[in-house]
Structure 1
Amino acid sequence: EEVRSSIRSSSSTFSLHQRLHLVDTLQRRCLDYLFEEEINVVLAEVNNAAYVSDCDLHTVALWVSPDVFLRFKDEEGRFLGHRPMDLLNLYNAASPRTHGERILDEAALFARKCLETTLPHMKGSLAREIKCTLEIPLPRRVSIYESKYQISRCEEEAVVDEADLNIESKLPFARDRIVECYFWMLGVYFEPCYSRGRIILTMVIAIVGVFYDIYDSYGTAEDCELFTKCIERHLTIYQSACNLRSEIFFYAYQTMENKLAHEERYRMSYLRSFIVDFVRGLNAEVKMRDDGYVPKSLEEHLPVSLRTNASHLLLCASVVGMGDIATKDSFDWVSSMPKMLQALCIILRLLDGLQSFEREQMTPHVASTIDSYMKEHNISIELAREKIHELKEETWKDFNAEWLNPENSQPKEIVNRIFNLTRTMEFFYNKDDNFTNCHNITGTICSLFVEPITIL
């Protein structure tokens, strides 16, 4: 209540600079959801302000309006040099740019070059923050993962109601990734009110991992065909070849359904449709892999591969566990594959191609986006990787344009699931496929769930 009172009083007693920094501080500590009404009042007042002439670059970066950056250019149109913290915020502010925002493109390029030059000569927490930002800008990072480094102290709380599918004993060939699945899910929604959603989404992510292991690594073509039919028909027993696998899936499905109120159970029909489409896509890729077929272009590759990166399925699952804010209209919207969701699917597919390409060359594999791009343009691996990375960045601009101006008047709680899921994907596929090579994120998981917060 003291914080709430401070926010309410800030509109009349705090300067523009102080108000923006107060909101930024709450958001970085994942506390903004507790003060949405108060923050909206502050932001409305800031939005109606007619001037920013007395603000420094750090504050202007928080303002995030492209035109106000013009006053930080010299007579020749070059951005003026500023302190590392200012440049850091400028780079972050320019990240959610869309197509045609030339000023923000220039700001991002200028800030990045300056930060890369400055970083080798810096130490401490600011140096670590700059290094992280150059890898993934703050708007693309997952809020809850960042909060550990932003707060000075917090009370340790129990992790979660464990989603125990007993995968390790029943499917010994499958990867046991329950902790990683929960960590992934926490990036989509960490707020206490979404406890049920966290449980459901964790189970879905775990099941998706099992599906990948079946179709990509351990299932024969016949196994995969039978298993696909089993999922399509939604039977508890189909053939001995898929009995145990289907048993675990249907147990998870039933568990998720039981967590919904009677009037909410229609949601599972949407989830089931996405699951069926997902396994059909995986089965189609098995046939392509066994035939050694490489799509001739990205245009041919993406219609299949976008179905098999599970983004649409995970988004639907994240909405299933939400409260009354999720309506039938919300699920119809998700099922229509809005442009934001399309961009999410493309971003993940391109990220996966970039980080999994070298590992996949060691075994028979489904052709990646890099394989198809090399074939389409007859270029080297290095150049193809560079072009795929550029395409990923362009798709982020498409995503930002839709996120900042959504095409549908869905509640922001629903739209934020897509945004958070996209940021989570960027984290998991930064530098490596961190879901497959989960040892890369062990330190981050321990830092968030196990280790106490150090008071600086």
Structure 2
Amino acid sequence: MLVQGGSEGLHRRRLKEVRHLLEKVEKGSLESLVMVDALQRLGIAYHFEEEIKSILHEHLLISTFDGYPGNISLYEASLRFRLLRQEGYFMPADIFEGFMTKEKSTVGYVFDLKLWKDIFGLMSMYEASHLGIQGEDILDEAADFSKRALILSVANDIKGTSSQILKELVSNTLSNPFHKSLPRFTSKSVQGYFAWPYEWTGAFGELAISDTNLVQSINQIEIRQISKWWSDLGLAKELKFARDQPMKWYMWPMAILPDPKLSQERQDLTKAIAMIYIIDDIFDVYGSLDELTLFAQAINRWECNEELPNYMKACFRALDDIINDVSFNVFEKHGWNPTDLIRKSWARLCDAFLVEARWFTSRHSPLADEYLKNAIVSSGVHIVMDENQEGHDGSYLDYYMKENPSCSLKGARDHMKEMISDAWKSLNKEFLFPDPFSPSLVRISLNTARMVPLMYDYDENHHLQRIEEYMKSVLHV
């Protein structure tokens, strides 16, 4: 890490202290689960992967051989379920049946109404419900039940000496369930989780502060390097119509690849993301259809056609340089050259952009599914977001409502929410059953999905308030 010696020494001592605390805790206890949860929420779990695996393996053995005894709390059962699934262990969802009761009516089994008083248990169950896969209806019921109960608990003014903190915790849980959030953006809002009388809470908090400062220093160095690269590249002057947002582009890799050791990978990915935005703007707001067709052909052949206008030539040369640099870095580190694969990926992207450009030029309104299929390539992570840019790429919401004129705006949005929920369940399934994908690729996919709401959470002034606040308060930019 590129930090001052004193800070690095203090950080090492705090790491050693927390590691000692993890080693002496009883592996199969509730406290050990709470420790793992705390490490993850504070964004420092990556330092203790082996210790966490050891703790969770013990809980896996307990669950496998002992099951869930009748006296286990909802909080502990839900927390163990979530942490084990997050580690990639498939825990059966039927553990929640133990918290249901059969009503006298024909409704069947429902969650016990006595649980309404168990605020921490409800929050834990709500968090756990977000790790469901298709067909796990009980987790859908757990999400609905716990959400309704928690909303009512806030509305009815939770009583107690820590009621305000508890309200904030409930609101944060409902807004930012851990599985769908990024610790770097939410760690400041979890201090209340560690108000329990455990001796290690202070040490964990001190390490989190120290780690944040060290990681922040690395991020700031990377930002300066990216800013210099972008300025030297000169595309902002050449393509005045295109977005000029290097800090925003860097936020994607910072979230997707949080490990401090992946500095080069973050910078390479930022450069690729910058070109995605730039080329998107060329297709979306500036180029004529004839020019765009020539550009897509040039990308497919990977030849800078002399017929291309100068701004497209500049873009092609910049993209070619980036691909060559990235390929060299990959070859140097992993021993294989991905140039052809990367070029083919860019060709697919530009072909998808061209399809959208032809739709707009011909005033063709595609079917919603047709738009979505193309958008999987052209828009990637925001395929189901209604980002009202000033370009011409349309949105899934618009096309769905045109195709279904009797559907209300609320109905269309509910349909999109259901699609997002199904997509998360598919991601969860890949995480639990990763073959043929590597666990690291699945984690990157999860982080990308977690970043989407932040990167498309525009306010009424079309500002990304949460991202901008983060850049100012944490990165000081």
Separation of aligned partners in 1, 2:166 and 2:42: 17
- Structure 1 residue 78 corresponds to structure 2 residue 126: no
Distance 1:165 1:233, change over 3 A: farther
Separation of aligned partners in 2, 1:2 and 1:372: 56
- Structure 1 residue 187 corresponds to structure 2 residue 247: no
- Structure 1 residue 5 corresponds to structure 2 residue 20: yes
C-alpha contact (below 8 Å) 1:295/1:367 kept by paired residues: no
Separation of aligned partners in 1, 2:414 and 2:353: 27
Distance 1:82 1:68, change over 3 A: farther
User: Counterpart of 1:111?
Assistant: 146
Distance 1:257 1:398, change over 3 A: closer
- Structure 1 residue 247 corresponds to structure 2 residue 317: yes
User: Counterpart of 1:61?
Assistant: 78
User: Counterpart of 2:199?
Assistant: none
User: Counterpart of 1:19?
Assistant: 32
Separation of aligned partners in 1, 2:450 and 2:274: 19
Separation of aligned partners in 1, 2:53 and 2:33: 12
Distance 1:372 1:261, change over 3 A: same
Separation of aligned partners in 1, 2:240 and 2:183: 34
1:124 Cα deviation (Å)?
4.3
SS at match of 1:116: helix
Separation of aligned partners in 1, 2:259 and 2:318: 29
Distance 1:141 1:364, change over 3 A: closer
1:220 Cα deviation (Å)?
1.8
Distance 1:439 1:106, change over 3 A: closer
**Residue identity matched to 2:396:** T
Match of 2:365 among 267, 271, 294: 294
Separation of aligned partners in 1, 2:111 and 2:288: 59
Separation of aligned partners in 2, 1:443 and 1:364: 26
User: Counterpart of 1:340?
Assistant: none
User: Counterpart of 2:128?
Assistant: 93
Cα offsets for 1:21-55 (capped at 9, x unmatched): 11111112222222222211211110111144343
Match of 1:209 among 250, 257, 277: 277
Number of residue-to-residue matches in the alignment: 403
Structure 1 range deviating more: 27-36 or 280-289:
27-36
User: Counterpart of 1:388?
Assistant: 416
1:106 Cα deviation (Å)?
1.1
C-alpha contact (below 8 Å) 2:330/2:337 kept by paired residues: no
Q: Percent identity?
A: 24
SS at match of 1:58: helix
User: Counterpart of 1:230?
Assistant: 298
**Residue identity matched to 1:217:** V
Counterparts of 1:38-437 in structure 2, within 5 Å, are: 38-49=51-62, 50-53=66-69, 54-64=71-81, 65=91, 66-76=93-103, 77-79=110-112, 80-120=115-155, 121=157, 124-150=164-190, 151=205, 153-154=209-210, 155-156=213-214, 157-159=217-219, 160-161=221-222, 162-163=225-226, 164-166=229-231, 167-236=235-304, 238=306, 239-241=308-310, 242-262=312-332, 264-298=335-369, 300-311=370-381, 348-350=382-384, 352=385, 355-356=386-387, 359=388, 365-379=392-406, 380-408=408-436, 410-430=437-457, 437=463
C-alpha contact (below 8 Å) 1:278/1:310 kept by paired residues: no
Separation of aligned partners in 2, 1:132 and 1:21: 18
Structure 2 residues not aligned, in runs of 5+:
1-15, 82-90, 104-109, 191-204
SS at match of 1:211: helix
Separation of aligned partners in 2, 1:73 and 1:286: 53
1:139 Cα deviation (Å)?
0.4
1:394 Cα deviation (Å)?
2.1
1:169 Cα deviation (Å)?
2.7
Distance 1:413 1:235, change over 3 A: same
Cα offsets for 1:352-398 (capped at 9, x unmatched): 2xx32xx35xx673342223322333323332222122222122222
Distance 1:174 1:137, change over 3 A: same
User: Counterpart of 2:106?
Assistant: none
1:148 Cα deviation (Å)?
4.3
C-alpha contact (below 8 Å) 1:141/1:426 kept by paired residues: no
Distance 1:264 1:14, change over 3 A: closer
**Residue identity matched to 1:158:** I
Q: Looking at CA atoms only, which structure, 1 or 2, has the larger radius of gyration?
A: 2
Distance 1:269 1:219, change over 3 A: same
Which structure would you say has the larger RCO, counting Cα contacts within 8 Å and 6 or more residues apart? Answer: 1
Separation of aligned partners in 1, 2:472 and 2:117: 36
**TM-score in terms of structure 1 length:** 0.80
Separation of aligned partners in 2, 1:277 and 1:260: 21
C-alpha contact (below 8 Å) 2:147/2:174 kept by paired residues: yes
C-alpha contact (below 8 Å) 2:302/2:343 kept by paired residues: no
Separation of aligned partners in 1, 2:165 and 2:242: 39
Distance 1:273 1:264, change over 3 A: farther
**Residue identity matched to 2:400:** Y
Distance 1:269 1:129, change over 3 A: farther
Separation of aligned partners in 2, 1:186 and 1:103: 35
Structure 1 range deviating more: 69-78 or 137-146:
69-78
Cα offsets for 1:187-236 (capped at 9, x unmatched): 11111221121111111111111112111112221222222223223235
Aligned-residue CA RMSD in angstroms?
2.7
Distance 1:237 1:257, change over 3 A: farther
1:282 Cα deviation (Å)?
0.2
C-alpha contact (below 8 Å) 1:188/1:420 kept by paired residues: yes
Separation of aligned partners in 2, 1:176 and 1:447: 21
1:260 Cα deviation (Å)?
3.3
Separation of aligned partners in 1, 2:458 and 2:139: 25
1:8 Cα deviation (Å)?
2.8
Distance 1:78 1:390, change over 3 A: same
C-alpha contact (below 8 Å) 1:142/1:427 kept by paired residues: no
